[in-house]
Amino acid sequence: MKAPGTVLLLLLAAAGQASAEDITRYCGGGVTGGGGGLRLSPDGSVVRLHRPRAGAPVEETRLEASAPYDRINALLDAAGFERMPRGAPSNMTCSIARRQGGVSHVVMWNIGHPPVALQPALREIEAVGR
């Protein structure tokens, strides 16, 4: 298993070239090291992220969908997102990262077991990606 700092760097790198203010939901790891997720920007733009395997470049596809960025931001605030612990990587790790004002915070968990407080925000993000 990779060191926790290495896994965190891989998860953040999967977010690609994000803006100074964004929310990124990503899951990856396992046998292939691949994964995917969504990056939401304040202007409502949505980018689907896909990495077929570890070491491969992240493929980015802009979606026609519009994200309720302010609502998701408010749900993260209500959950106390910045006060949540970072969590630990696992074989299949999911994360949500938010950057605001040049400051990033990441919370990660074992796939299928998100923190209860984050579930409303995660449902909103998943709805955007459908």
Q: What's the CATH number where 28 sits?
A: 3.30.1560
Q: How would DSSP label each residue in 41-59?
A: -TTS-EEEEEESSTTSPPE
What is the residue range of 29's domain?
4-129
How do the pLDDT tens digits run along the chain, 130 residues long? 444 443 444 444 444 445 578 999 999 998 888 999 999 999 999 999 999 999 899 999 999 888 899 999 999 999 999 999 999 888 899 999 999 888 899 999 998 899 999 999 999 999 988 8
pTM: 0.81
Question: Is residue 91 within 8 Å of 29, Cβ to Cβ?
Answer: yes
- Count up the domains in the chain and report the number: 1
Could you give the CA distance from residue 47 to residue 31 in angstroms, rounded to a whole number?
A: 25
